[in-house]
Structure 1
Amino acid sequence: MDLGLAGRAYAVTGASSGVGLATAALLLADGAHVAACARDADRLAAALDPLPRAGGARVHARACDVLDADAVAAFVDGAAADLGRLDGVVNNAGRSLMAPVAATTPEQWRAELDLKIFSVLHTVRAAEPHLRRSDAPAIVNVNAILARQPEPRLAATSAARAALLNLSRTLAADLAPIRVNSVCLGLIDTGQWRRRYESSGTDASYEEWSAGIAAERGIALGRFGRAEEVAHAIVALLSPRASYITGSSLDVGGGVARYA
């Protein structure tokens, strides 16, 4: 099915790897222009350069710290000027802090909230004037199932994710007709999990090791997700074909849903 993305332009933060890179790749393959940012310009360029681009799709890439409002505004305005338009934004920049409440410092709490909330607010505020000129404007905030299903070992990240989910629903009401939705991730196969496997000292293969974790976490499909599986959900919500979906959240977690 044609998603109606060709010729449109979308900004993706945290685009040098993982879900952000997979989303940029899928958009380009569908003929959409992509504005991509990450903190490391060289790594970003190396990741984006090999991606196939359909129908003359172009890339605007720039190093950007999403916690710097001025840098975000420069990235978004430059992208809209270079690509001639901006139809959507994917707020993907993020990380997790592995620590329980007692081991999380006040500074770490603030850092988690800054990254999960202000990175989104900076991007949305910069993008809003450009999105208002689109006939199908959309924002997708990449979140986590932790927003509804917190884990004690990820105390600050869980709380910040919950705040972002709440904020996303508020933005959906405030920014309409710009659509705002969330994609909430479960365990996704990323470099972080590969590094944990390599330092685990296990004799099991990565597939066996990750399947064991999936079973322990109650993932019905019995495995980690892949970045491209998340990207398909993000791109579907960006698409004009999702024109009556806003204020919603979609779990991409292989069936893990212990929350009510």
Structure 2
Amino acid sequence: MELGLQGKVAIITGASKGIGYYTALQLAQEGASVVLCARGEKHLEVAAAAIKEKTGAQVLIVPADMTKEKECQEVVTKAVEHFGRLDILVNNAGTASANSFEQVGSELWQSDLDLKLFGAVHCSKAALPHMKAAGGGSIINVTAVLAKTPPASSLPTTVSRAAGLALTKAMSKDLGKYNIRVNAVCIGLIRSDQIEKRWKNDAPNLTWEEYSQKVGEAIPLGRIGDTEEAANVITFLASNASSYVTGTSINIDGGSGGAL
């Protein structure tokens, strides 16, 4: 299938590792130029070098804090100054933050919303005129499957992520007239640095496959998802293969979610 990503320019936030890194890698493999954004410059340099070596693609790194509106704007400005256009934005920056309602203070509420909700708002707002100039584009908001069915002690993450889903739907209604598509992916249990640390601490005698199956017993597909599997779906949503898909969310959770 031809994805139509050759010559496109994509910004990926939270791109130094995990889902963001693998998404940038796959977009680069499909012919896109990629802009990697995260707070840690050293990690970005390592990620960029690996992508260049594996794909030969053009890669720009822009260290930035997605909780700062000015820095979100600067990422977009530098991307367009360097590559001349912007077609794809993957709002992936985020952290896991979960506790009971009584234990979440005002500062944590604000910092979580600043990163996961307003980071996406500010980046998307900055990207809009450039996508309009390019004749369209694709924005993908990375959220969590638990945003649809929040369990106890999952705050503030599930609230911030649920707001991201509402943002996705509302933006898709407003921006469709510009041929700008806006979708979300809802992440379930996907391999990450945090999960790998837990594996090495809790079950060092097990292989990754054994540990994945053990932890994933309650998941219909019976395992933890691979990072690349999440990147596959994001790349599809960024591409021409999803040209009539907007305003929707896709669960990447092995079937574990309780909502469509």
Normalising by structure 2, report the TM-score.
Answer: 0.93
| 1:41-69 deviation per Cα after TM superposition (whole angstroms, max 9, x unaligned) | 11101112122578863111110101111
State the aligned residue count. Answer: 258
Matched, 1:211 2:226: no
| Matched residue type, 1:178 | I
In 2, the alpha carbon distance for the partners of 1:32 and 1:70 equals 26
| Matched residue type, 1:200 | D
CA contact (8 A) 1:3 1:236 kept: yes
Instruction: Give secondary structure in 1 for the equivalent of 2:51.
Output: coil
Shift of 1:208: 3.2
Q: Superposition pairs for residues 79-228 of structure 1, below 5 Å?
A: 79-176=79-176, 177-200=179-202, 204-215=206-217, 218-228=218-228
Shift of 1:221: 0.8
Shift of 1:156: 1.3
In 2, the alpha carbon distance for the partners of 1:146 and 1:171 equals 21
Shift of 1:247: 0.3
Shift of 1:200: 3.1
* Cα pair distance change 1:240/1:201, threshold 3 Å: closer
Q: Which runs of 5+ in 1 are unaligned?
A: none
Partner of 1:45: 45
Partner of 1:247: 247
Instruction: Give secondary structure in 2 for the equivalent of 1:143.
Output: strand
* Large movers: runs of 4+ above 6 Å: 53-56
* Cα pair distance change 1:135/1:255, threshold 3 Å: same
Shift of 1:203: 5.1
Shift of 1:195: 1.7
CA contact (8 A) 2:52 2:58 kept: no
Partner of 2:12: 12
Shift of 1:88: 1.1
CA contact (8 A) 1:9 1:85 kept: yes
Shift of 1:98: 2.8
Deviates more, 1:11-20 or 1:114-123: 114-123
Shift of 1:100: 1.8
* Cα pair distance change 1:201/1:153, threshold 3 Å: farther
Is the helix fraction higher in 1 or 2?
2
Deviates more, 1:75-84 or 1:46-55: 46-55
Shift of 1:21: 0.3
In 1, the alpha carbon distance for the partners of 2:50 and 2:95 equals 25
In 2, the alpha carbon distance for the partners of 1:116 and 1:106 equals 16
Q: Which runs of 5+ in 2 are unaligned?
A: none
Instruction: Give secondary structure in 1 for the equivalent of 2:37.
Output: strand
In 2, the alpha carbon distance for the partners of 1:55 and 1:206 equals 27
Normalising by structure 1, report the TM-score.
Answer: 0.93
